[in-house]
Amino acid sequence: MPPYSSRDNLKIVLGGGPKKTEGWLNMDILRVPEVDIVCDLNQGIPLPDNSVVAISAKHLLEHLDDTVKIMEEIWRVSKPGAIVSIKVPYYASMGAYQDPTHRRFFTEKTFQYFLPHKERRTVPNYGFRGEFEIVRIGYIWSARWVRYLPFKSFFRKHFLNIAKTMIVELCVVKSGIDKGLSQEKMPNIV
């Protein structure tokens, strides 16, 4: 087992690339000096179950093949109560569609899929194994003047390019029940 897997307060950045955050383990498919673990996150997160207290994923999820799979992996490696911070392009921003490598688009409703309570979901979970609570949802506005705009919520939902980025903070919920996500074999590190 790699030495980082025994840390009590392990914090990881998924898809951090050349941006190193002090005190955080950086995982990316890019082989650059700032990356601590080179891996393909489409294949999973090469860490043991219940080993991480905080996860940051900035502009990563929209590039991955399977959002449900990476959210299950995030849940698997997280300790109960771990905080997950996700930054993605907002679906009503033309920038979300500008990059041809974006495979998914995200709204506030996207993350309701991962909530534990069926009554708060807008669609069935179709077998998702894991639970999160939404702590907060915030936005990065497309221009400074937008923050002075009245009824931002209305404009954000009905007009393009009001919000360019959505920031979602989640808390990992684990009730002690095995959800069947434990890995028997760690994913291959690229």
The pLDDT tens digits for 92-137 are: 888 888 889 899 999 988 998 888 765 566 666 677 888 999 999 9
Mean pLDDT, the chain, integer: 86
Please tell me which residue, 190 or 102, carries the higher pLDDT value. Answer: 102
Q: Round to whole Å and give the CA distance between 81 and 171.
A: 6
3-state secondary structure string, the chain?
A: CCHHHHCCCEEEEECCCCCCCCCCEEEECCCCCCCCEECCHHHCCCCCCCCEEEEEEECCHHHCCCHHHHHHHHHHHEEEEEEEEEEEEECCCHHHHHCCCCCCCECHHHHHHHCCCHHHCCCCCCCCCCEEEEEEEEEEECCHHHHHCCCHHHHHHHCCCCEEEEEEEEEEECCCCCCCCCCCCCCCCC
pLDDT range class, residue 25, cuts 50, 70, 90: very high
Out of 23-37, 138-152, 176-190, give the one with best mean pLDDT. 23-37
Residue 64 one-letter amino acid: L
pLDDT tens string 45-58: 999 999 999 999 99
Is residue 112 within 8 Å of residue 118, measured between CB atoms? no
**Bridge partners for 12 per DSSP:** 25, 55
pLDDT at 153: 85
113, 95, 28, 35 alpha-carbon torsion, rounded to 10°: -130
Rounded Cα gap, residues 99 and 9, in angstroms:
35
Q: Is the pLDDT of residue 184 over 70?
A: no
Separation of alpha carbons 60 and 74, rounded Å: 13
The pTM score is 0.84
Q: Which fold has domain 11-173?
A: Rossmann fold (3.40.50)
pLDDT at 68 exceeding the cut of 70? yes
**Rounded CA gap, 43 and 69, in Å?**
9
Looking at residue 189, its pLDDT comes to 35
Instruction: Please check the confidence at residue 27 and state whether its pLDDT lies above 90.
Output: yes
